[in-house]
Structure 1
Amino acid sequence: MIPRRVGLGPRSLPGLRAPSSFSRPILNPRYHPRWSQPRWTPRAWESTTTGEGKTGHIEAAPNESILWVDNLFPLKLSGLMRVPWRGPDQDLSELMKRFENSTLGILDPINMVKRAIPVTVAVKVTDILPRLKDGGAFVKFTYPADVPVKDIETSITKYLEEKPVRPFFSPFRSVQAGLVQGVPWLEDLHRFPKGRLRVEFVPKNPGDQAVELSQETLYSLFRRYGKIAEISSQSWDSKVLPRFAYIDFGFVRDAIMARNCLHGFVVPEKLGGGKSGTKLQMSYEARAKPHRFWEWMTSRPRIVIPIIVALLTGLTVVIFDPIRSFFVKAHVTQKFRLSNNRLYSWLRKQTSDILSFRREKAEHAGLEAVWTHRKDLIVQIQKWLMETAETFIVVQGPRGSGKKELVMEQALKGRSNVLVIDCKPIVEARGESATIKHMATAVGYRPIFSYANSLSSMADLAVQSTTGVKTGFSETLESQLQKILQITAGALTDIGISHRSKTDSDASLPADAYLEAHPERRPVVVIDNFLHKGDSNIIVYDKLAEWAANLVQSNIAHVIFLTNDTSYSKSLSKSLPDRIFRQAALGDLSPDVAKKFILSHISGDETPQPKTTEDDSSVLNEKGLELQIQPDLTELDECIGTLGGRLTDLEFLARRLKAGQNPKQAVTDITEQSASEILKMFLLPGKSTSDGEHKWSVEQAWYLVKTLASNDALRYNEVLLHGAFSASTTAPDGEAALEGLSNTELITIKSTNGRPGYVTVGKPVYQAAFRLLAGDAVLAARMDIAVLKELAKDEAKTIDKAEAELALLGGLPKQPAQTSGRIAYLLGKVEGAQKKVEGYEAEIGRLKKVLSSQY
């Protein structure tokens, strides 16, 4: 018994479902109980799909023959054979009953079989074997002995040509029929029809010899079943057995008919099959598609790769550039920033902490004195922004002088469309990807694929190493920065002309001419920390300066540079060599202004607090609230003279005074903190390196600290001539050492007539810090020993050179009279250097006693 299984199969098709003699109620149980014996109906469908007895072949009696009827089922249903279930069976008696029934539907495949066989042909159908995978069925029939089977095939073929039978799923191809001349192989393997047949030539009987048929013979055998596209014979030197040939049909249905009709056919000797005959065994073969377009592309990389790069570039410009321009505009105009929302601003104002509000009010009150002192400079910057001059505005001053606050909070107060680019994170970024990412973040450029640059570089290197062609996928840091700044310039142009109306008299002017006539509508670009660590990542500063020059020359935007470096003109002059910069220099505050700043900062922090105890002796105001006790400011003038006029230091002092310290104690703490920072950053061992991070040595830093402790300024060239700079072995370049110390703000180099003139302290408070460090006997002894050892090494080198030359002169066989002067000079040099070494060693010995006797 063969169990009946639920699934998709031939019986699920319309017309193949067997008519039932009874109807099962809906509520009847679907399965029998376990204790009852199921009554299975014997089926013949599944057994006949693989041949009689599941051998894969069909046996035919002498008076029987087999006909293949094609195009009965859609070939797309052959994919159902891939699933691991089997279709339901079909009784052979039911099929034959439906074949003999005259009331069959027009869509029934069995009806199409009946319609394909004319009534005039004297045949009787005895068996029908549907082949869902091949889209047709084998029909076994009997015929009279006096009628040749070839005539039957001819009659059926001619009948189908005159009266074609067309299935509903194939309106352009009718049902075809062909006589099976071989032994068809009815297999249920997962091998599905293809348009190519592999025809193998095997002997009829084991041990015999098969003959490889020619292409002409194969054409004569297979052409009747359909149009042949190509016949490919096996190469003559191939060792693959059995020999075979490929036959490519134009349609898959033709290949199916040829295989089912000629599989197992024995080619006789008269057709070229040899004495014993050659048997044909056929199987479907997947045809290799030519992929000519892909082959053309891969075989011409020198042409294809530049085309691909151009297409990708164009795609990027069309898709991503407008998106990036939109984000840059949103970043500059702050259109989508939550803080600009009126409702959010009102809620924040209503829910803000009163104390923090008063602290902010105190800080603003403290700055009012500074802004009043620098009001002329603020007004001057605002006037420059209203002019049409094509030049830069440069605000220069030391760190902590309030450059950014003056420009952003005062000169540009209330002005919209301001773009701030901070060079510090861009320059300090590690690697090109991080640099590009920080630059894009500064201008609001997104999306940014910073990691793609590394992947593109690897792809470019791989393609170049294999094909010898540079693809251009990877971009340099310079090109990436150029692209970001170019998109930003376009966005700034759109922002500048966004308020232009069609009704304006100059609405027809070009963008640059319109912005030239309306300088108040140009955006403002503020480049902060320009030339921060000017010796590193110089390409960033060059690209920013070049880009800023294009902005001002094209009247796109006003550009303001904020820098600490006094030599900024060297870098900016490369971009605008024929322009004079608008310069605004910020220095330290004068003592009077510094005092007003501190007093206003302190007086603005009147923090009212409710009285908590009855015995509290705090000062009360009119409302009964406690006021903070004002600190003693009798020593303020003297402390300001020590601290100087640096804005950050003054603010630090004001905070300490508000905390309850007196001015002298606060300045002492600030001086000690500065001295500790100098000691940690400049005077501890290991701060002079050979990797280029520091261009100065500990001995050079100590010489400046010790000398500036007792002098307000040092001559620039005098410092270079000292042995700590001229005779240094760790930092031999004295000018580079001074420049490095100036960049770290230990000292300040001031110019005279355009050249370095003298050296002063980096911050006013450093003068007192230098005195504190120089007054430390142990530290001074330790640092002086290091300096003296450096000087002693230099004198030892001088002695070695003089002695080597004296040895050379002494080795002459005869001493000429002309060498007496040179010998005396060398002897004097040795004597002078020896005296210096002895003096250095004596001083070192004295300083070691200090180290051994003091803590």
Structure 2
Amino acid sequence: MLMPVTRQFGTGFRSLPGRRAPTALSRAYFTPRLQPRWTTQTHLTRRAWESTVATGPGKDGHIKLAPNESVLWFDNLFPLKLSGLLLLHWGWQGPESDLPGLMRRFENASMGIMDPIKMVKRAISDDIPVKVTEIVPRLKDGGAFVKFTHPADIAPKDIESKLSKLLAEKPIKPFFSPFRGVQAGLVKGVPWLEDLQRFPKSRLRVEFVPKNPGEEAVELSQETLYSMFRRYGSIAEISSQPWDSKAVPKYAYVDFGFVRDAVMARNCLHGFVVPEELGGGKFGTKFRISYERRTKPHRIWDWITNHPRIVIPVLVALLTGLTVVIFDPIRSFFVKTHVSRKYRLSNNRLYRWLRKQTSDIFAFRRAGDEQAGLNAVWSHRKDLIEQIQAWLMESAETFIVVQGPRGSGKKELVMEQALKDRQNVLLIDCKQIIEARGESAIIKKMASEVGYRPIFSWANSMSSMIDLGIQSTTGVKAGFSETLDSQLQKILNTAATALRTLGLESRSKSDTDASLPPDAYLEAHPEKRAVVVVDNFVYKSEENSIVYEKIANWAAALVQSDVAHVVFLANDSSYTKVLSKSLPDRVFRQVALGDLSPDVAKWFILGHITAGTQDSGKTDNEGDRDMKENKEIANAPDLVGLDDCIGTLGGRLTDLEYLARRIKVGQSPKQAVAEITEQSASEILKMFLLPGKATGDGEHKWSMEQAWYLVNLLSKKDTLRYNEVLLSDTFSSSLTAPDGESALEGLANAELITVRSNAGRPHSITAGKPVYQAAFRQLAADKVFSAKMELARLKELVKIEGANIDKAEKELALLGSLPNQPWGTRDRIQYLVSKIGGAQGKISAYEQEMGLLKKVLSTQY
């Protein structure tokens, strides 16, 4: 028979046996590979003192006692906090399989001082007349049961008292518990040696069960429980079962101050039968003790949940403050980097050097073509560029407005010429913001335009739902959600702070005015201020007017506080309505851009065509310019009729660029203009002259008949009187769009027409773009289409006159029903009769014209 391997104990616990039953995983995986070193390799012959307890199959989990045998519980042998790890490490084999090894180690006197078995041996001195027959370690409880025999004339209670006295005089303290020594207590009950996943707690649930089935148990009082449990440690609380509880068996809670005390009490008193003289009743009452997790009182949480009217506003304030402290510096940093373009690749020296070295390999033809053509435009508008640059060097507290139709080159003029060498330029495109759908999208676009990040646009919708739920349950609005106005204001305020910081970054202590306050420094150095360019201002002004108001008020604050210069790019004069509210006592500095003159337009087209074959740089000498022009014309494609085509196309920058590209790919100027005109006519037909383009679709303020009326008149005349158009029946009495001024405003915003003003009032109407004039003529020259549109307009006029006749006839019927007609009604009757006659005459004329138009439609394709 092989002898078990003896392990030396040090400060670790690798030799301690476990109590957890082997699991399927441990049996299948760990056992074949790693045998515990305290187990035998062959079957051991059973000894007389071999273990009588086990938790495996066929064992009841209790300690069997013979006469003159008792059990002591030794506490504080193993650390409780590491009991789970100890069980995990030693759980493959139960300690009962190595009982001979445990007893041999108990009898061996050369073990380490920190060995738990050695501590048990030290505790039981030779003066105590006992003989240890069995040791049952309990890793979960941090101790061990020690079964012993004693003489018949000595009571176990006396042995317990003597052992406790010795441990108090000469305490044995393990290394993991320097303040609490090993304690021992006599086991009065029948301990249950279970291997369940139940770990010690400071609260014990003491159930009162009958000694034998069928007998009656009694509920013990708190005084009785205190007298029995107090000897094991300090008791914090004893809670009896509620009087109205129907739970059986009856129970009580005993809360100890320390977990070790609860462990000692449970292992010593579990299964103890309280006799009648101690209050256990006639048949006696047995203790069934288990650990119970103590429910800690959540007083703070209860107070929070019970006072939402106080807690929710405080919580909102704390969250707001936390957001300001954490996210605002981050967002301000991103705004500054967006404005200063500090970390952009195009500003890197190495990137610029590589681009310069490889410019002949990777030629950006398109950019070169555009720049060559724009050189002539910038030469023509050099005075405007210098004027804007001069305004940016002044300290005037006002806006700079660059107004011109779409495609006139406003953005290129300001960004690429006036602000070419300017640092800290912020561009805000209102078109991107206005076209966003929904408040979250608008907030996201606004943040993107100013470089404000991180932005949680989705949080606005979620916070609104939370706010609504809290308000419906508590009756108090939490304030988590923020309106669109407040969100936009927060973004713009952060941007203003970043712009102010950028303006002061170049300030040094060596400056002569370094002692000036920040506001005074920025006022004295307008060249240090950032520039804010607001593009597409009042784009679709009827939608989301709050965005324009917030931007205008924010821009006014920037200008008045000398933080930045603000330049607005507007397509029409309607910007004055919004800006005048923000700066009512200031005169705006305005630059008006119109279409290019024919000479400049020709230079622009020739610059595009000849770019790439010759140097696109400008020359100041007039003779050199003429020679260059002659050379370009000689080498250019067929340009016969270019002057006439420019006159037809007009001086709009985008249209001229489109013409130049078509000519460059091989088309003649006449052919290119014809295609451009045809394409414009198709756009007008699709956008304005199809049925349904009226106020009924929710997007337009005009009717199809009104749009055709203007197209037809402008095809014959270049300019129309504004008030004359308003007085026409098509605009003044329309059935679908009765507000004539709103209809003209909508058509002007859609760029079908341009409304020109004089001294602040509209006075004339022209085509939206010069090319539209040719498109109008082309549409009006189509007899079938013209007849169809005119027929639709006359039908509406017939309906209008018919409605007037019906109204007059109803009034005449009312007057005729009077019993005695007053003398004063004669003039009214005569007026109504003449009105009916005039309306009928118009209807007859309209129907005569309609007959001719129907004949055209029925005879021509």
Give TM-score scaled by structure 2 length. 0.90
- Which of 36, 40, 43 is matched with 1:40 structurally? 43
The residue that corresponds to 1:613 in the other structure is: none
2:662 is aligned with 1:656: yes
- Secondary structure of 1:438's counterpart equals helix
- Secondary structure of 1:527's counterpart equals strand
Shift of 1:827: 3.3
Q: What aligned pairs does 1:239-250 form with structure 2 within 5 A after superposition?
A: 239-250=246-257
The residue that corresponds to 1:188 in the other structure is: 195
Q: What aligned pairs does 1:518-529 form with structure 2 within 5 A after superposition?
A: 518-529=525-536
| Alpha-carbon distance change, 701 to 626 in structure 1, aligned in 2, over 3 angstroms | closer
Q: What aligned pairs does 1:57-136 form with structure 2 within 5 A after superposition?
A: 57-80=62-85, 81=87, 86-89=92-95, 90-136=97-143
In structure 2, what is the Cα distance between the partners aligned to 1:580 and 1:465? 50
The amino acid that maps onto 2:719 is A
The residue that corresponds to 1:617 in the other structure is: none
- Any idea what the Cα deviations from partners look like across 1:94-133, whole Å, max 9, x if unmatched? 3223223333321111111122223222222222211112
The answer to whether the Cα contact below 8 Å between 1:15 and 1:105 also exists between their aligned partners in 2 is: no
The amino acid that maps onto 1:13 is F
Q: What aligned pairs does 1:545-556 form with structure 2 within 5 A after superposition?
A: 545-556=552-563
In structure 1, what is the Cα distance between the partners aligned to 2:533 and 2:657? 25
The amino acid that maps onto 1:742 is A
The residue that corresponds to 2:314 in the other structure is: 307
The answer to whether the Cα contact below 8 Å between 1:436 and 1:450 also exists between their aligned partners in 2 is: yes
In structure 1, what is the Cα distance between the partners aligned to 2:184 and 2:194? 21
The answer to whether the Cα contact below 8 Å between 2:689 and 2:704 also exists between their aligned partners in 1 is: yes
The residue that corresponds to 1:55 in the other structure is: 60
- Any idea what the Cα deviations from partners look like across 1:449-488, whole Å, max 9, x if unmatched? 2222222222222222222232222222222221222121
The answer to whether the Cα contact below 8 Å between 1:134 and 1:193 also exists between their aligned partners in 2 is: yes
Q: What aligned pairs does 1:200-215 form with structure 2 within 5 A after superposition?
A: 200-215=207-222
- Which of 698, 704, 713 is matched with 1:707 structurally? 713
The residue that corresponds to 1:618 in the other structure is: none
The answer to whether the Cα contact below 8 Å between 1:200 and 1:242 also exists between their aligned partners in 2 is: yes
In structure 2, what is the Cα distance between the partners aligned to 1:213 and 1:416? 87
In structure 1, what is the Cα distance between the partners aligned to 2:148 and 2:364? 105
| Alpha-carbon distance change, 769 to 46 in structure 1, aligned in 2, over 3 angstroms | farther
Mean CA deviation greater in 802-811 or 142-151? 802-811
The residue that corresponds to 1:799 in the other structure is: 805
2:494 is aligned with 1:491: no
Shift of 1:540: 1.4
Shift of 1:640: 2.6
In structure 2, what is the Cα distance between the partners aligned to 1:626 and 1:595? 12
| Alpha-carbon distance change, 430 to 47 in structure 1, aligned in 2, over 3 angstroms | farther
The residue that corresponds to 1:752 in the other structure is: 758
In structure 1, what is the Cα distance between the partners aligned to 2:174 and 2:411? 85
The residue that corresponds to 2:450 in the other structure is: 443
In structure 1, what is the Cα distance between the partners aligned to 2:94 and 2:50? 8
The residue that corresponds to 1:839 in the other structure is: 845
The residue that corresponds to 2:399 in the other structure is: 392
In structure 2, what is the Cα distance between the partners aligned to 1:85 and 1:164? 30
| Alpha-carbon distance change, 359 to 62 in structure 1, aligned in 2, over 3 angstroms | closer
| Alpha-carbon distance change, 338 to 100 in structure 1, aligned in 2, over 3 angstroms | same
- Any idea what the Cα deviations from partners look like across 1:160-210, whole Å, max 9, x if unmatched? 111111112111111111111111111112211111111111111222211
- Any idea what the Cα deviations from partners look like across 1:624-659, whole Å, max 9, x if unmatched? x99984344453333333222222222223333333
The residue that corresponds to 1:23 in the other structure is: none
In structure 2, what is the Cα distance between the partners aligned to 1:437 and 1:453? 11
2:720 is aligned with 1:720: no
- Secondary structure of 1:655's counterpart equals helix
In structure 1, what is the Cα distance between the partners aligned to 2:496 and 2:830? 72
The residue that corresponds to 1:282 in the other structure is: 289
In structure 1, what is the Cα distance between the partners aligned to 2:258 and 2:310? 37
In structure 1, what is the Cα distance between the partners aligned to 2:523 and 2:401? 21
In structure 1, what is the Cα distance between the partners aligned to 2:161 and 2:90? 40
- Any idea what the Cα deviations from partners look like across 1:357-415, whole Å, max 9, x if unmatched? 56644433322322222221111111111111111111101111111111122212222
In structure 1, what is the Cα distance between the partners aligned to 2:125 and 2:361? 105
The residue that corresponds to 1:569 in the other structure is: 576
The answer to whether the Cα contact below 8 Å between 1:358 and 1:607 also exists between their aligned partners in 2 is: no
| Alpha-carbon distance change, 325 to 47 in structure 1, aligned in 2, over 3 angstroms | farther
The residue that corresponds to 2:27 in the other structure is: none
Shift of 1:777: 0.8
In structure 1, what is the Cα distance between the partners aligned to 2:373 and 2:639? 16
In structure 1, what is the Cα distance between the partners aligned to 2:409 and 2:349? 30
The residue that corresponds to 1:13 in the other structure is: 13
In structure 1, what is the Cα distance between the partners aligned to 2:612 and 2:78? 94
The amino acid that maps onto 1:790 is E
The residue that corresponds to 2:776 in the other structure is: 770
The residue that corresponds to 2:22 in the other structure is: none
| Alpha-carbon distance change, 162 to 354 in structure 1, aligned in 2, over 3 angstroms | closer
The residue that corresponds to 1:503 in the other structure is: 510
Q: Structure 1: 5+ residue runs without aligned partners?
A: 5-9, 19-28, 33-37, 609-624
Q: What aligned pairs does 1:468-487 form with structure 2 within 5 A after superposition?
A: 468-487=475-494
The answer to whether the Cα contact below 8 Å between 1:49 and 1:131 also exists between their aligned partners in 2 is: no
Aligned residues: 820
The residue that corresponds to 1:808 in the other structure is: 814
Shift of 1:343: 2.5
- Which of 170, 173, 178 is matched with 1:171 structurally? 178
Q: What aligned pairs does 1:279-428 form with structure 2 within 5 A after superposition?
A: 279-352=286-359, 356-357=363-364, 360-428=367-435
2:688 is aligned with 1:682: yes
| Alpha-carbon distance change, 42 to 676 in structure 1, aligned in 2, over 3 angstroms | farther
In structure 2, what is the Cα distance between the partners aligned to 1:52 and 1:743? 91
The residue that corresponds to 1:848 in the other structure is: 854
| Alpha-carbon distance change, 834 to 479 in structure 1, aligned in 2, over 3 angstroms | same
Shift of 1:702: 0.4
| Alpha-carbon distance change, 515 to 16 in structure 1, aligned in 2, over 3 angstroms | closer
- Which of 218, 224, 237 is matched with 2:231 structurally? 224
The amino acid that maps onto 1:240 is A
Shift of 1:691: 4.6
The answer to whether the Cα contact below 8 Å between 1:195 and 1:284 also exists between their aligned partners in 2 is: yes
Mean CA deviation greater in 712-721 or 389-398? 712-721
| Alpha-carbon distance change, 600 to 197 in structure 1, aligned in 2, over 3 angstroms | closer
| Alpha-carbon distance change, 53 to 158 in structure 1, aligned in 2, over 3 angstroms | farther
Mean CA deviation greater in 503-512 or 836-845? 836-845
- Secondary structure of 2:480's counterpart equals coil
The amino acid that maps onto 1:136 is G
| Alpha-carbon distance change, 741 to 79 in structure 1, aligned in 2, over 3 angstroms | same
The answer to whether the Cα contact below 8 Å between 2:499 and 2:563 also exists between their aligned partners in 1 is: yes
Mean CA deviation greater in 240-249 or 149-158? 149-158
The residue that corresponds to 1:22 in the other structure is: none
- Secondary structure of 1:416's counterpart equals coil
| Alpha-carbon distance change, 753 to 359 in structure 1, aligned in 2, over 3 angstroms | closer
The answer to whether the Cα contact below 8 Å between 1:398 and 1:587 also exists between their aligned partners in 2 is: yes
The residue that corresponds to 1:560 in the other structure is: 567
- Secondary structure of 1:57's counterpart equals coil
Give TM-score scaled by structure 1 length. 0.90
Q: Structure 2: 5+ residue runs without aligned partners?
A: 5-9, 19-31, 36-40, 616-630
The answer to whether the Cα contact below 8 Å between 1:68 and 1:137 also exists between their aligned partners in 2 is: yes
- Secondary structure of 1:206's counterpart equals coil
Shift of 1:265: 1.2
The answer to whether the Cα contact below 8 Å between 2:75 and 2:183 also exists between their aligned partners in 1 is: yes
The residue that corresponds to 2:466 in the other structure is: 459
Shift of 1:700: 0.8
Shift of 1:244: 0.7
In structure 1, what is the Cα distance between the partners aligned to 2:386 and 2:312? 57
- Secondary structure of 2:193's counterpart equals coil
